Amino acid sequence: MTNDDLWRQALGEIELAVSRANFVTWFKDTKIMDQADGIVTVGVPNGFSKEWLENKFHKFILKSLRVRIPEIRAINYTIVAPSASAAKQLKSKPKKENVLTSGEQLDFKEFYIDPKTNLNPKYTLETFIVGSFNELAHAAALAVIKNPGRVYNPLFIYGGVGLGKTHLLQAIGNAILKENQNKKVYYITSEKFANELLNSLQNQTIQNFKEKFRDYDLLIVDDVQFFVNKTKTQEEFFHMFNTLFESGKQLVFSSDRSPKSIPSLGEINDRLISRMEAGVLVDISEPEYESRLAILKSKSAEKKVELPESTLELIALLIQKSIRELEGALNTIHIQSKYQNKVLNQEEVKSILSKNIKPRNAVTPSQIIKTVADFYDIPEKSIYEHTRKTEVVRPRQIAMFLIRDDLGGSYPFIGQKFGGMDHTTAIHAYEKISEEVKRNSKLEDELKLIRDIYQNTTATK
C-alpha cells in the first residue's frame, strides 16, 4: 500500500467520526510523508493543525492506521508547506458529500476568531444551555446585553473549570456585536493582558496600549484570578478599569473563585477586588443531572452524533464535574461506536468512561421506568402512553416519584420523559405517592423492593 493510499483510507474513516468542520479544518492539507520502522510521519500545514492532531486526534489516527498496518507504532507530525497535490486530494475525493457546500463553509468559519475582538463566533447564547446551575449567570448576561454599561457593571462570573464561563463571556460579546456592529468589543484573558502589557512596557508602547483599551465599549477579561501576584499588571488594570467604568463602559470578568477568595496581596489588589465586588457577582455551579442530559442532547444534535437516549442518560449520570468533560465523554463514546461500528451497550460505555469517574451506583430514568414496569408486570411502553387505565396510572406515578426522589429530576423534565405529559401530572404523582407512603406500609415495601432491584442490577450488570 502506498503512503497516499494508506492515508486516503485512514482519512475516509476519520471523516466519518469527526464533524465536517473539524475534518476540513484539521485534516486539510495533511499527508503521509514517510513510513519506516513502524513510525509514520504525517505532514501538516501549520502549528495549529499539528497541535490539534497531536492532542485531540492522535489516538484515533493511530488506530485507523494500525487497522491497516498493525506494525505501525508511532506517528510524528511535522509541519510542511502545503503541497498542491495534498490539498487536491482532500477536495477531489469521489463521494459526492465531500464537495463542500456553502453551508459547510460556514461551519468552517466557526473557527475563525476575529483578532479585532478575540471573539469566537461559535460561542453564542443559542448554544448555551440554561439550567438551575447557571440561570443566574445567564440572566445577568442577558441584562448586560440589554443595557450595557448600566446596572450590571461590572459583571463578575465565577465558577469551577469547564462550567461555561468562557462560553458565556464570549456569548455576551457576540450578542452585543450582533445588536450593534459599531460597538467596540474586546475579549482577553488576564494572562494575555499581562503579556501584552509587559511587551508594551518593553517596547515603550504603553501609551498605545492604554489608548487601545480606553476605546472599548465592552471589555471582557477572562480568568482574572491570574492577576494575583502581578503587581504591575494589577496597577495598570486598575487604572484602566476605573477609566472605563467612569465613562459608563461595560466590564465583564470571570474567575475560578469569588473576588473574596482571591488572596489579598496589597493595597492595589484590595482596591481592585472591592471594585469588582461592588458590581454584580454571580456564580455557576456544577450542572445537575437534568441539565447535563440537556447539554448532551444539544451537543449531539449540534455535532450530528446519533446515540441512543439511554447512552446519553448514562453519560449524564457518570460525568458530573464539568461540561467540558461531558463533551469529551460524548465524543469518546461517539468515536468508539463509529469505530466499532455498533451501538455500545451500557457496560461498554461504563467501562470506556470508567477511567474518568469514580464508581457509583448508576441508574437512569429509563432504568427506573423499566424496573417499575417489570415489577408491576405491565408493558414498559404503556407507561409512556397517555392512558388512564388504573393498572398503568399507578406504576407511572411511582416511576415519576422515584425519578424525582432519587435523581432530583424537575417536574417539566419528568413530564417530558413520560411521553410529553404536563408537568402538573408529575407534581400530582409526586405528591400523591409521597403522601401515601407515609400511611401505607405496603407501598413503602414496594418502593424499597423496586429501589433494591434497580440499584443492584445497575451495580452488577
Known binder of ligand: residue 460?
A: no
Q: How far apart are CA 337 and CA 437, in angstroms?
A: 43
Q: Report the alpha-carbon distance of residue 372 to residue 179 in Å, rounded.
A: 51
Q: What count of residues does the chain have?
A: 461
When binding is defined by CB under 6 A, the residue of 23, 26, 77, 128 that contacts ligand ADP is 128
User: Which residues, in sequence order, are CB contacts of 410 under 8 Å at separation 6+?
Assistant: 132, 290, 423
User: Residue 80 CB, nearest distance to ligand ADP (Å)?
Assistant: 30
Provide, rounded to whole angstroms, the least separation between the CB of residue 159 and Mg ion.
10
Among candidates 20, 78, 23, which has minimal Cα distance to 45? 78
Nearer to ligand ADP, 65 or 171 (CB): 171
* Least Å from the CB of residue 261 to ligand ADP: 16
In order of 62, 391, 414, 422, 429, the CA distances from 405 in angstroms are: 45, 22, 11, 18, 12
Residue 164's binding partner among Mg ion, ligand ADP, none (Cβ under 5 to 8 angstroms by kind) is ligand ADP
The footprint of ligand ADP on residues 132-161 (CB under 6 A) is 134, 161
Any idea what the Cα angle at residue 124 is, between residues 121 and 125, rounded to 5°? 170
Alpha carbons 260 and 14: distance in angstroms, whole number: 47
295 binds, among ligand ADP, Mg ion, none (CB under 5 to 8 A by kind): ligand ADP
Q: Given the rule CB under 6 A, which of 69-77, 127-135, 207-215, 244-252 is the region that contacts ligand ADP?
A: 127-135
Binders in 314-343 for ligand ADP, by CB under 6 A: 323-324, 327
Task: Report whether the peptide linkage leading into residue 45 is cis, meaning its omega lies within 30 degrees of zero.
Answer: no
Q: At what angle do helices 231-246 and 190-202 cross, to 10 degrees?
A: 100
CB of 256 to Mg ion, least distance (A): 9
The greatest distance separating any two alpha carbons of the chain, rounded to the nearest whole angstrom, comes to 81
Q: Are strands 39-44 and 250-255 parallel, antiparallel or unpaired?
A: unpaired
Question: Taking the CA of residue 30 as centre, how many other CA atoms within 13 Å lie in the half-sphere pointing to its CB?
Answer: 27
Q: Which amino acid is at 419?
A: G
Q: What is the CA radius of gyration of the chain?
A: 27
Which CB atom, from 154 or from 164, has the smaller least distance to ligand ADP?
164
Binding-site partner at residue 315 among Mg ion, ligand ADP, none, CB < 5 to 8 Å by type: none
Task: Sketch the per residue contact string, 94 through 113, with ligand ADP: x for CB under 6 A, - otherwise.
Answer: --------------------
Write out the H or E segment, with its range, that includes residue 290: helix 289-303
Instruction: State the Cα–Cα distance between residues 339 and 435, nearest whole angstrom.
Output: 50
User: For 248, left (φ over 0), alpha (ψ -120 to 50), or beta?
Assistant: left
Q: How far apart are the first and last CA of the chain?
A: 44
Q: Is 164 part of any known ligand binding site?
A: yes
We find the least distance from the C-beta atom of residue 330 to ligand ADP, in angstroms, to be 11
Is 311 flagged in the annotation as binding? no
120 binding ligand ADP? (CB under 6 A): no
Residue 323 binding: pick among Mg ion, ligand ADP, none (C-beta 5-8 Å cut-off by kind): ligand ADP
Minimum CB–partner distance for residue 161 and Mg ion (Å): 7
The nearer residue to ligand ADP, 123 or 209, going by C-beta atoms, is 123
CB of 60 to ligand ADP, least distance (A): 19
Between residues 323 and 429, which has the closer beta carbon with respect to ligand ADP?
A: 323
Partner whose footprint covers residue 324, from Mg ion, ligand ADP, none (CB < 5 to 8 Å by kind):
ligand ADP
**Only segment of 10-18, 121-129, 349-357, 445-453 that touches ligand ADP (CB under 6 A):** 121-129
Inter-helix orientation angle 323-340/309-318, to 10°: 140
Residue 128: CB minimum distance to ligand ADP, A: 5
Q: Which residue is nearest to ligand ADP (CB)?
A: 164
Q: Which is nearer to Mg ion, 168 or 197 (CB)?
A: 168
Instruction: Give the footprint of ligand ADP on residues 231-250 (CB under 6 A).
Output: none
Q: Hey, which residues between 157 and 186 contact ligand ADP (CB under 6 A)?
A: 161-167
Measured from the CB of residue 166, what is the shortest distance to Mg ion in angstroms?
3
Q: Exposed, middle or buried by CB within 10 Å (0-12, 13-18, 19+), for 304?
A: exposed
Pick the binder of ligand ADP from 141, 197, 295, 369 (CB under 6 A): 295
Residue 166 labelled as part of a binding site = yes
Count of positions on this chain that bind ligand ADP (CB under 6 A)? 15
Nearest to 48 by CA among 122, 119, 116, 112: 112
Cell of 1: 500500500
Beta strands in 316-407 (DSSP E): none
Record the cell numbers describing residue 267, joined without a space: 493595597
Comparing CB distances to ligand ADP, the nearer of 162 and 412 is 162
1 binds, among Mg ion, ligand ADP, none (CB under 5 to 8 A by kind): none
Give the separation between CA 430 and CA 436, rounded to whole angstroms: 10
Contact positions toward Mg ion, by CB under 5 A? 165-166
Task: Please state the residue numbers annotated as binding site for ATP.
Answer: 162, 164-166
Q: What are the residues binding ligand ADP (CB under 6 A)? A: 127-129, 134, 161-167, 295, 323-324, 327
